[in-house]
Structure 1
Amino acid sequence: MEKLVTERERMRSVATEPLRIGFLVGPNPGFENWELRIFDRVMAAPGLSLVSFLVHPRPFRRQPISPLFGPLARLEQAVLAREPVYVPTTFSMNNQRHERLPPAVDFDGCDAKRAVRLVSDLGLDLVVRMTAVGLPDEVVRALPFGEWSFSFSDERSDTDDWHGYDSVLRRAPSSLLCLYVRHGADPETQCLASSSFNTKFSAARNAGFTKERAVTLVMRELTRVADTGNLGTVTAAPKTDDAATPPSTGDLLRYAGALSGQLLYRAGKALHTKVGGASAVWTLCTGHGNIEDFDPRQSVEIAPDRDEIRADPFMLHHDGQCYLFYEAYAKRDTKAHIAVARMNGDRLERLGVALERDYHLSYPFVFRHGQDLFMMPETNQARRLEIWCCVEFPLKWELHATALHGLSPADSVLTRYRDRWWLFTNLSDFHAYEDHCSELHVFEVDGPGLSRVVPHKRNPVVLDSTTARNAGRMFQRDGRLYRPSQRNEYGVYGYGLNVMLVEQLDRENYRERCVRTIVPDFKPKLVACHHFDAAGDRYILDARLRN
C-alpha cells in the first residue's frame, strides 16, 4: 500500500534553509568508502547540511555467526574486492559535531525521551541510519522526514558484514537495493526508492558494487527532498528476512564451492582469450514490424562473417535505400570501429569503414536534423561525447560537436520531444566499480550543436541495471515515446531487451514503465540480446551467440 506524506512535511516546501541531516553511527571509529563518500557529498551539496553524528550506545544486535565466516570473508575481500582508499575532499571527521545518544537503563537501546529532546535541539529534519539498530519510534516521530536506512543496514554485526551473500547463494538474477524510511505517527518501515543490480559471482564484489550505488541513490533522494520539501510517495517494504540472517556453515561451504568453480571457469576463459580464442560473438536478426509489435521469433539471422562481427546496429533510409551502421570488430581485436553496409532484403552488402579512431567506437546512433546527417557513436574511452556530421555519404565524417568532457558517456541518444531536445546517456558515478549499465542520465540540449547542456534535476533519472542502459534509438508513435533499454541480469551483460514507455518527461520529472521484455529464447544458442532499431516497416536487433 502507498503511504502519502503528512501536512508537516508539505509545510517545509516553502522553507529556504538547507535540509538538516544527522547520521546515526556506532561508537567505534572508522568508516567504509561508501560511507565517507556520502558524508563528503552531503558536505558539498548546497541544499544539504550535515548537522551532527548521533552515536548509538548499542548499534548492533547479537547474531550467531559461523566461525568460518570471518576468515573466508576477509580472504575474499582481500583477493576479489579490494578498493582504493577514498580520500574525502570536503569532509573531516574531526570537524564534525558528535552527540552520544543516552543509553536506556533497562533494555538495549537509547533513552527515548532524552533522545527526542536532543534531535529537537539539533533541529534535525531526518537521520540516516548507518547502524543495524535504529532510533526509538518516539524519536522518529520527532523528525519531519523520519529515519532513513538501506536494505543492507541490518546485515552486519559489530565485527562482520554479510551483505551480498543472500542473492549470490539464491542465484538471484538481480540484487535488490532499497532506501527505507520510517516516519510519521506510525513509523513502520517503508520503501522510499529501490533499485536492482546485476548479481555478481562474488558476494564481496556484489556488496561493494551495491553499496557504491547506494551513494548515488541516497544523494538523489536527499537532493529531491531538499529541493521539493516533500518526502513523496512511499511503498511497502519487501520481505528481506533471509538476507538479514548471516549465512550458515552449510551456506558458506556451498558458496565456497560455487565461487571456486567460477574462478576456475574465468581463469580458463582468460587463458583461452590470451592464446587466441574468440571474443564475444554477436549476430544480427532482422524482420518486419515496429517497436510495439515486432516478433523476434519470426526474424531472419544475418550471421557474422569470418572477418567481421557486428553489434549495435542502426538503420538509415537514404536516397531510397536502407543502410546499416554498426560496431564492427574481428576476433581478438581490442577495439572496434564503425562500419556501414547496404541492406538488400535480409542480406548485407558491406561498404567499408565509416569511422575509426585510436579508441573504441560502438553504438553509432545516426539521425537527421534539417538537411544534415549526424552520427553520435559511443566514445566513452575518449572521456567525452562526440557528434559527427556526414560530409560525403556514407564513408566520410567530420567532428561536429563535443560535450560531457571528463565523463565517460555510453550508448547515448538524442530525441526531440514536445519541442525540446533531450540527450539520454549512461554515465557511471563510481569510486571502485565503474559501470555503465546502472544509471540513466538525461540532459536538455539545444540540438546536435551541444552548445547548451543542462542536467535533469533528478539525475540519474533511472538507477537500475535491469532498465537503465539504452538499447537503441527512441521512437515516437501516436504521441507515445518509447525507449529501448537493456536488461542486465543473471550475471550476463545485455541479457535481455526492454521496451520502456516514457510517461513523463520535463525539466523536473521523469517517469517510465516497462511494457515489453525480450529474452534470448527466440533462436537457438543465444545468451543475450541487447539492442533494437527500426526504420520504416523493418527492424533489426543483435544477439550474442553461445561460444
Structure 2
Amino acid sequence: MPHTRLKLGILIDHYTIPAWAWEMLSLILKEDLAEIDLILINQSPKASGTKSSFLYRVYSKLDRAFFKVNRNAFDRKDIRELPGLNAELIRLKPIQKKYSDWFESSELTRIIERKPDILIRLGFRILKGDILKIPALGVWSFHHGDNLVNRGGPPCFWEVLKGWETTGSVLQILSEKLDDGKVIYRSWSRTDPLSVHRNANKVYWKSLYFIPRNLERINQVGIAQWKVECEKWEANSTNDVTLKPPGNLEMVGLGLSHLAKTLKRKIKENLNKEVWQIWLGSNAGNSIADLKSLKLLPNPKGSYLADPFLVEEQGATYLFVEQFDYAKRKGFISFARLTKRKAFEFELALEEDFHLSYPFLFKEDGKWYMLVESSSSKSLRLYVANEFPSKWKLAKTWFEGKEMYDPTIVKKDGLFWLFVNEKPHSGASSFDELCLYYSEDLLTGDWISHPLNPIVSDVRSSRPAGNLFIENGTWFRPAQDSAKHYGHHIRIQKIVFWDKENYSEQTFKIISADWSPGLMGTHTINFSKNWLVLDSFKR
C-alpha cells in the first residue's frame, strides 16, 4: 500500500533563501519525498552571535572576489517560486535572548495544530524550548563542519585557515546543546587549501542531498528501521570547543599565515610539473607488504603514465595505463607487454577527442571489455576488443548526462556490480561519494541503484583505486584517500556486509607512497598472477 507522506515545516528568515536550499526543497517536491505543509517565517530575523570583525569581513569579500565559482550555492532564490509548493504561511516573532530564539505558547500552538513530522531549520538562530519537541521526528538542521572537532563557525572557514585536510558536514536532529544533536548523516570533503568561498560552495552543494536521502530512506524502510540505521552516524565527540569568527588581531595572524602558505604552494606548483609514474613488483604470495622492491618504469617522452591495470591473455601479461599527453592536455589508453620485470614500448589502445583514464579491463563470455573513465563526455563508455590488445570499439554507453569517475566492475552472486564515484551536483566534488549499482546483464545497461547510495560519502575512502579482490572469503576494495591532496594514499577497505540491501566497509590497511624518496602519493593498485603494480605522484 502507498506510504503516508511525511509533513514538513520549513523555518526561514526571509522569502529568499540560498540556492542550495532552494534546490533541496525543489528536489523534495519533484521526487514527491514529502509534503511541504507549512513555511515558518521569522518576523524579526537577527544574526547569531556578535558582529564579525572588520578584517574578517574584508577577507571574506576579497575571497569571494578572487576565487569565483561556476555555480554559487549562496545566490538567493525566492521560496515562493518553488514548483508545486502549496504550504501554509505562519509568521513567527521569536523571543530573542542573547544567541537563541524561544517562542510563546500561542505561536507553538499554531505549529502543533499542523502536526508536522519534521521541521527543517533554514533560518532563525539557536532554537530553544518546546519547539524542539513538536515535530514527531524532530527539528533537522545542518552543521557545515565536523561536529566531532569543530562546533560553532564560521562554516568551512577554520578548515582552510588552519590547514585541516578535511571539511565535514553534518545533518542532525537539534537538541538544547549547540551542534550536539542526534546525527543522521555525515560526510567529509577535501578542504580547499586556498579559498573559504570555494570550500564552502562545494560542501553546501553536496549537503543539499542529505535531507532528501533520509526522506527517501524513511519511505523505503519505515521510521523504525531508519532510526536503527541512523545509529551508524553516532560517535563520541573529542572536542567541546565552540569556534567563532576571529577578531581583528587574530585575523591578521591567520591571514598572513594563509597568504604565506598559499604563495609557497603556488610557487611549488608553478616550478615543479605534476608527474605520475608506474612501479612494478613481484606478486609472490599476493603480498603488498614489501614495496621497497618496486621498479620504476620510465615515462614515454612528453607524457606521464598513471592508473595501471594488469591482465593476462594466452600466457602473456599486459599492462594498460592512462597515458597523459602534456601537449594535448588529455589522456588516452596505451598498453605494453610485460616480461621479466620489463615493459616493451607502450602502444596506443584507445583515444577519443576527450580525456580518457582508468582503463578497467575484464573478460566475459570469451570477450575482453574495457570500461574507462570518460567523465568529460558525461557518460560511462564500455568498449569491446576487436583485436586484443590493440583495437577496441564502443559497445555501450551508460548513464548519459552523468559525470562518473573511476568505474570498477566485479562479478559476485551471479550479478555484475559497478562501483563508481559520482558528482551529486555540478558544484560539488567528484572525490567524495561512491555509488554502487548491480545488473544481471552486462550489456543491457539496466543498472539498479543500491538503496544505500551513496554507500560512502567520505573523501578519505570513496573513489575506486583498482580491482576488488577476495582473500579467505573476504572481499577487499582499494580506495583513494585524497584528503590531503588528490591521490595521497590508498586505503584497502574490508567489506563487512554486501548484498542488494546492505553495504558496509572499514579500513583494513593504508598504503603510502614511501617506497622511494620524493613521492607525494599513490592512487591505483592492481595485481596479476605474478605482478604487482602501483602508480605514484610527485612534483
2:36 alignment counterpart: 50
> How far apart are 1:411 and its partner, in Å?
0.5
Quote the offset at 1:208 in angstroms.
Answer: 1.3
1:415-469 CA distances to partner (integer Å, 9 max, x unpaired)? Answer: 1122221111111122434x32111111122343143122222222211111111
Cα distance in 1, alignment partners of residues 146 and 168 from structure 2: 14
Deviations 1:19-78 (A, max 9, x none): 22222222x343222111112111212222222222345564332521212222122113
Matched to 2:48, the amino acid is: R
State the match for 1:30 in structure 2: 16
Q: Which runs of 5+ in 2 are unaligned?
A: none
8 Å contact kept, 2:12–2:124: no
Please give the per-residue CA displacement for 1:201-244, whole angstroms capped at 9, x wherever unaligned.
Answer: 21121111211111123322232123222233331463665564
Kindly state the Cα deviation for residue 485 of structure 1 after the two structures are TM-superposed.
0.7
Q: Which amino acid in 1 is paired with 2:22?
A: L
Q: Which amino acid aligns with 2:456?
A: V
Q: How does 1:227-238 map to 2 (within 5 A)?
A: 227-230=220-223, 231-232=227-228, 233-234=230-231, 235-236=234-235, 238=237
1:124 Cα deviation from its structure 2 partner: 1.1
Residues 205 and 534 from structure 1, CA distance in 2 versus in 1: closer, same or farther, beyond 3 angstroms?
A: same
Larger CA deviation: 443-452 vs 310-319: 443-452
What is the distance in 2 between the residues matched to 1:196 and 1:188?
17
Over 3 Å counting, the alpha-carbon distance change for 1:46 and 1:236 in structure 2 is same
- Provide the C-alpha distance between the structure 2 equivalents of 1:344 and 1:517, rounded to a whole number of angstroms: 29
Alignment check: 8 A CA contact 1:289 1:295 kept:
no
| TM-aligned CA distance change 1:335 to 1:417, over 3 Å | same
Q: Corresponding residue for 2:406?
A: 411
Uncovered stretches (5+) of structure 1, i.e. residues with no partner: 1-13
Q: Displacement, 1:106? A: 8.2
Percent of residue pairs bearing the same amino acid type: 21
The equivalent of 1:213 in structure 2 is 206
Aligned partner of 1:495 among 473, 479, 488:
488
When residues 128 and 538 of structure 1 are mapped into structure 2, their CA distance, relative to the original with a 3 A threshold, is same
Distance in 1, matches of 2:65 and 2:242, equals: 23
Deviates more, 1:122-131 or 1:110-119: 110-119
One-letter amino acid of the counterpart of residue 490, structure 2: L
Structure-1 residue corresponding to 2:52: 65
Q: Aligned letter for 1:43? A: L
CA contact 1:169–1:251 (8 Å) conserved in 2: no
Shift of 1:353: 0.6
Deviates more, 1:127-136 or 1:408-417: 127-136
Q: Is the 8 A contact 1:220 1:460 kept in 2?
A: no
* 1:117 and 2:109 aligned: yes
Secondary structure in structure 2 of the residue aligned to 1:72: helix
Q: Deviations over 1:145-192 (max 9, x none)?
A: 11111223999xxxx9832221122211111212212379xx961222
Residue 462 of structure 2 is aligned to residue 445 of structure 1:
no
- Separation in structure 2 between the aligned mates of residue 377 and residue 61 of structure 1, nearest angstrom: 48
| Equivalent AA in structure 2 for residue 17 of structure 1 | T
Once residues 285 and 63 of structure 2 are traced to their aligned partners in structure 1, the CA distance between those partners, rounded to angstroms, is: 47
Q: Does 1:18 pair with 2:2? A: no
More moved, 393-402 vs 134-143: 134-143
Query: Residues 146 and 167 of structure 2 are in contact (CA less than 8 Å); yes or no, is this contact kept in structure 1?
Result: no
Distance across 1 between alignment mates of 2:256 and 2:500: 50
Q: 1:181 aligns with which of 154, 173, 184?
A: 173
Cα distance in 1, alignment partners of residues 146 and 306 from structure 2? 43
Amino acid at match of 1:260: L
> Match for residue 196 of structure 2?
203
Conserved? CA contact 2:318–2:335, under 8 Å: yes
Instruction: Say what the alpha-carbon RMSD is for the aligned residues.
Output: 3.1
Alignment partner of 1:99 is 2:90 = yes
Contact 1:290–1:534 (8 Å) recurs in 2: no
**2:342 aligned to which of 328, 338, 347:** 347
Compare 93-102 and 15-24 and name the one that shifted more: 93-102
Q: After superposition, what is the alpha-carbon deviation per residue over 1:76-103, rounded to whole angstroms, capped at 9, x for unaligned?
A: 1132144536779981598643222353
> Structure 2 vs 1, CA of residues 106 and 442 (structure 1 numbering), >3 Å: closer, same or farther?
closer
Matches within 5 A, 1:244-263: 244-261=243-260
Distance 2:255 2:97 in 1: 42
Query: Which residue matches 2:465?
Result: 471
Using the size of structure 1 for normalisation, the TM-score is 0.86
Residue of structure 2 in register with 1:7 after alignment: none
Distance 2:47 2:203 in 1: 21
Give the match for residue 393 of structure 2: 398
In the alignment, the residues of structure 2 paired with residue 312 and residue 74 of structure 1 have an alpha-carbon distance, to the nearest angstrom, of 40
Given that residues 25 and 59 in structure 1 are in contact (C-alpha distance below 8 angstroms), is that contact kept between their aligned partners in structure 2?
no
Cα 1:191/1:238, change in 2 over 3 Å: farther
Is contact 2:17–2:78 with CA below 8 Å preserved after alignment?
no
Matches within 5 A, 1:32-431: 32-56=18-42, 57=44, 60-84=47-71, 91=82, 96-104=87-95, 109-111=101-103, 113-131=105-123, 133-152=125-144, 162-182=154-174, 189-201=181-193, 202-230=195-223, 231-232=227-228, 233-234=230-231, 235-236=234-235, 238=237, 242=241, 244-261=243-260, 264=263, 278-288=273-283, 293-431=288-426
CA contact (8 A) 2:146 2:169 kept: no
Q: Structure 2: which amino acid aligns with 1:421?
A: F
Q: Does 1:538 align with 2:538?
A: no
Q: 1:431 to 1:309 in 2, by over 3 A?
A: closer
* 1:522 to 1:19, Cα distance in 2 relative to 1, 3 A: farther
8 Å CA contact 2:145, 2:156 repeated in 1? no
Worse overlay, 299-308 or 322-331: 299-308
Question: Quick one: distance in 2 between partners of 1:311 and 1:320?
Answer: 24
